[in-house]
Amino acid sequence: MRTVTRIALGTTRSVRGRCSPAMAIARMNHTSSINPDEIAHFSRLSASWWDEQGEFGLLHKMNPVRMQFIRDKLLEISHEEDAENVRNGGILEGKDALDVGCGGGLLSESLARLGARTLGVDASLSNINIASLHASSDHWLNGLEYRHMPAEDLVKAGRQFDIVCSMEVIEHVDNPANFLRSLAHLVKPGGHLFMSTIARTPLSYFLTIFMAERALRLVTPGTHTYSKFINPSELLELFQEDLGWLSRSYHGTPPRTEAEIQGIAYLPWKGAWALLPKTTPGSMECNYMFWARKPLQDDGKHTT
Amino acid sequence: MPFARIGQKSWKSGQIVPRIPKRCFSKAAICRQSGQTSSPLDAETHDVVIVGAGAAGLALASALTRPSSSARSCRIALVEASDLSKVREWSLPSDQYSNRVSSVTNRSLSFLKTCDLHSHLNQTRTNSIQEMEVWDGVSDARISFRASELLGREHSTNMSTMMENLNLQRSLLKTLQSNSSIILLDKTKVDSIAKPNDDANSWPLITLDNGRVLRARLLVGADGFNSPVRRFAGIDCYGWSYDTQAVVATLFHPSRSTGNTTAFQRFLPTGPIAFLPLSPTISSLVWSTKPHIASSLRSVHPDVLSLMINAAFRLPQISLQYLYDYISEKGRDGLQVERNELADEIRWREAAHSIQPYSALSSTSDKQGDISEGFDLLPPLVEHIQAGSVASFPLRFNHAETYLGEGLGSRTVLVGDAAHSLHPLAGQGLNLALGDVEELASCIDDAISHGIDFGSRTALLPYVRNRYFENHKVMSAVDKLHKLYSSQLPPVVWARSVGLEVVNELDSLKTALMLSAGADSRTTPNPWNAAADGVTLVNNGIEFLKTGASVISGTVGSAVRNVLKV
């Protein structure tokens, strides 16, 4: 529990002083982890979601790497369990997938293209509108649906999914521990949770805030809040001690079949993101991918 | 360097007109407005619409539908203005060859094999090149490449394979026709391309001249160097016309005991002349030369042209210049050039240059044959030329500023001649196009397997990154070679000759040159790197000479600089 408190503490103060009418409404909803400032911020930017050379250009380039991580991990696990029946092509075919904080739908579209019945949810209505509009032009996206709602509402409705993704979201929510508990609820037993976020290190401050936002203006200043960044060890502790998803860990490394963390980095000379080898020193000091699997037998450690 | 034939030219005889504007597009302007185009609702949606069914377009369609491709379930449409049944039913007797041939490198060939090229390719009409002889028309400095000596056993003894473009295209077309996921729309022109409501994010609508509207996730311009797709995408193109025409013909000659597997190329100051083997007794000519010489060569009787070709591989420049003037003066006066008169003239010139009748350099004596010393350094003597095979086309250097459309031109990508055209002296035009196609197909494959929209900029950027600089290196190396060998200035001739002879003595460097020119089917990196570096080195030497010359004398210096503008 100690770790969970630390996560919560690190994020209760909103550094930015933006205020909006949505804020008042959101305050009434105590169960929601949604931060109204963040929603207002991304709603303003929503029109540029699909401008691949604009605000979200780096995110577009990150998408293939996220998908690679998701696909490879699913393949690895399915190989582990049933080596004879691995379907290399359609590992996502027919699976139920949820994308929490789908934004313009970058990841949702990719999941749907690979055959998953995908639901994208976002707290910003304008994001959902942009995402729906964009998806309507692609005839490959039949199994894709978007809804304007917080993840907590899906928990209340008792929905569960084979795959739950939440990419670059947790560093924007108010109470990450609660948010993670909600995500955990939405995963079917034996299902998979994928996240990507940013570690809270001097390197990540330098790259994501100083360079990307201030010096190079690749991202609108104010997009990231340093204190909201979360370290891999903090995530792992929450999943082990609070949610009980991990049986043990070896010097902070979880068993390969229960959870995995892999750093990713943008390589300017290649113009692309890449998954970093796990042995690279400092590979998890900035952007990283996280995967954990919900145990088939729920041992009841969950607290809501 | 391997050489060869290229070009947008009709396989029929005569002046070759760049094929694209007429072939692919009707007169209607390529517009970006949405005013007169149909709404997306009337449109058939396709994943890939390829405009132009030349070698590049056909190869791309084949690559996307091969069994190993993730794109094999995509809907693909191939639009072509001409009648593809002419390609499908193309056939020539075994003693006749199309004048439109290409040198396909081993690397290109192994890619084409993955597209099932060989099930329909007529392999008796292909010929492997195992040796190359390249020499300087002014100094006679020479470089020889022999695949068997340089590449060793583990490599193929082929440097490249000569084949008729129509043989290649027919084979790809037959493979495609057995595939139901491809829609072939031949005898169909593109009327207009537009984005609905001028929305850059929407998919392009391609209106055909029969009223059909295709909506494309990805529009591929494989429509040649005047590419209307490139114009729609708003991609600028830079380049220039060389003051050069290429004369092509199918040549008949006696067979040699050593076989006909050597390609010959002599760099004349007017441009290189190349002799490319197609069968034991048939070879193809690509003679790049000044436009006025090209037009005289095309207007003379084929028997006279045979004499000119034999002389052009053998006589010194001063006599060749005389012969060019001789035939063009006759032509200007409306007189026929008599074969015997020209033969006498050449015989006299050979005597004046002390070329003995039994020497390999003599082209007029019947004593010459396989017994002459050094006969294998020169091509066999041309006896006659296939009727109707003489043609010519202009040479250009052109490179699009990018291969990927932006804004209103998004979801558009260029391959092959639509993206770049270059001098045929290294025979790289088709090979660059196939390199483009291979890379684009692998980008599309990669995007699909990661669930990425392959029409998006993110998915296509690796294609541009991997091809643009690669193509540019080859193109500028070839361009600089052309310019380097256009000069007759003694210091330039000396520098390039010493360079060539030094390289000729270094087997390891020659091996590197051959491998980088695509002789190895396995490796992929750095084609022409070594060649490009070599040319840059020579070029730097000339820059140095340029500086020296301008310091030494004012007026003479500026004249030298003009000539030396490489």
From B342, B363, B393, give the residue that closes a domain: B393
- Tell me: pLDDT of B548 over 50: no
Q: Is the dihedral of CA A227, A230, A231, A237 positive or negative?
A: positive
Distance of alpha carbon B138 from alpha carbon B123, whole angstroms? 38
Q: Is B281 on the interface with A (CB under 8 A)?
A: no
B66 Cβ neighbours under 8 A, 6+ residues apart:
B72, B114, B115, B116
Residue B449: its chain A contacts at CB < 8 A?
71
C-alpha closest to that of A91 among A99, A100, A80: A80
Q: Where are the alpha helices (DSSP H) in B128-266?
A: 147-151, 165-177, 228-232
> In terms of pLDDT, which residue wins out, A41 or B60?
B60
Pairing outcome for strands A287-293 and A259-267: antiparallel
Distance (Å, rounded) from C-alpha A238 to C-alpha A292? 11
End residue of a domain, out of B349, B376, B393: B393
DSSP string, A81-139: H-GGG--STTTTTT-EEEEET-TTTHHHHHHHHTT-EEEEEES-HHHHHHHHHHHTT-T
Enumerate the β-bridge partners of residue B135: B142, B266
Inter-axis angle of helices A57-81 and A106-113, nearest 10 = 40
How do residues B11-47 score in pLDDT, each as one tens digit? 333 333 333 333 344 433 344 443 344 444 567 899 9
B450: nearest CB among A50, A110, A138? A110
Residue A4: predicted pLDDT: 37
For residue B74, give Cα distances in angstroms to B48, B95, B247, B537.
8, 41, 42, 47
Quick count: other Cβ atoms within 10 Å of Cβ A253?
13
**Would the pLDDT of B566 be above 70?**
no
DSSP B516: I
B378 and B512, same domain (yes or no): no
Dmax over Cα atoms in chain A, in whole Å? Answer: 56
> Residue B453: what pLDDT?
94
CA atoms within 13 A on the CB side of B71: 27
Residue B94 lies inside a defined structural domain of this protein: no
Per-residue pLDDT at A86 exceeds 90: no
Query: To which residue do tokens 């050489």 refer?
Result: B3
The share of chain A scoring above pLDDT 70, in percent, equals 85
Domain locations along chain A: 36-294
Q: How far apart are alpha carbons A151 and A155 in whole angstroms?
A: 7
pLDDT above 60: residue A269: yes
For residue A67, what is the nearest residue in chain B, using CA coordinates?
B450
| CATH code: domain of residue B206 | 3.50.50.60
Question: 3-state class of B154 per DSSP?
Answer: coil
Kindly state the tokens that stand for A134: 């964009």
Shared-domain flag, residues B208 and B304: no
Q: Is the ipTM of this complex over 0.85?
A: no
Q: Per-residue pLDDT for A17 more than 70?
A: no
Q: Torsion angle, CA of B312/B313/B318/B319, rounded to 10 degrees? A: -60
B445/chain A closest Cα distance in angstroms: 12
Contact B451 A111 (CB under 8 A): yes
Give the range among A255-264, A293-302, B55-64, B111-120 with minimum mean pLDDT.
A293-302
B452-475 mean pLDDT:
92
Q: Which of A154-158, B230-234, B277-281, B422-426 has the lowest mean pLDDT?
A: B422-426
CB atoms within 10 A of CB A250: 7
Residue B116 within any structural domain of the chain: no
Compute and round to an integer the Cα radius of gyration of chain A: 18
SS3 content of chain B, % helix, strand, coil (to 5): 45, 20, 35
Residue B436 lies in a domain: yes
B348, B323 in Cβ contact below 8 A?
A: no
Interchain pair B456, A52: CB under 8 A: yes
In three-state secondary structure terms, B342 is helix
The Cα–Cα gap between A184 and A193 comes to 8
Determine whether the interchain pair B453/A139 forms a contact, defined as Cβ–Cβ distance below 8 Å: no
Question: For helices B429-449 and B457-484, what crossing angle results, to 10°?
Answer: 170
Quote the mean pLDDT of chain A.
82
Q: Which DSSP string corresponds to B24-77?
A: HB-SS------TTSPPGGGSEEEEEEEE--SHHHHHHHHHHHSTT-GGGGS-EE
One domain, residues B58 and B199:
yes
In whole numbers, what is the pLDDT of chain B averaged over residues?
A: 82
> Do B304 and B288 contact (CB within 8 A), yes or no?
no
Residue corresponding to tokens 């390249």: B134
Q: How many domains does chain B have?
A: 3
Q: In Å, how far is B46's CA from the nearest CA of chain A?
A: 9
Coil/strand/helix, residue B360: coil
Mean pLDDT to the nearest integer, B289-317: 94
Mutation choice for A interface testing from B195, B218, B458 by most A CBs within 10 A: B458
* pLDDT reported for residue B563: 47
Rounded to 10 deg, the angle between the B302-312 and B339-352 helix axes is 10
- Residues of B whose CB is below 8 A from A109: 451, 453
CATH number belonging to the domain at A36-294, selected among 3.30.365.10, 3.30.930.10, 3.40.50.150, 2.40.50.100 = 3.40.50.150
Residue B69 lies in a domain: yes
A242 labeled part of a ligand binding site: no
Say whether residue B452 is in contact with chain A using an 8 A CB cutoff.
yes
Q: Is residue B5 part of a domain?
A: no
Dihedral of CA A66/A72/A76/A78: which sign? Answer: positive
Q: Is A185 annotated as a binding residue?
A: no
- Say what the pTM is: 0.83
For residue B220, what are the β-bridge partners?
A: B50, B413
> Is residue B564 within 8 Å of B545, Cβ to Cβ?
yes
Cα(B329)–Cα(A12) distance, rounded to whole angstroms?
93
3 state SS of B132? strand
Last residue of a domain, one of B447, B479, B511: B479
∠ CA B362-B364-B370, nearest 5°, is 55
Best A113, A267, A270, A275 member to test B by mutation, with max B CBs in 10 Å, is A113
Q: Are residues B379 and B438 in the same domain?
A: no
pLDDT tens per residue across span B115-170: 988 889 999 999 999 988 999 988 888 888 887 766 665 556 788 899 999 999 99
Domain assignment present for residue B310? The answer is yes
The residue length of chain A stands at: 304
Cα B490 to the center of its chain, rounded Å = 30
Domain with B464 in it: 27-89+164-236+401-479
Tell me: pLDDT of A36 over 50.
yes
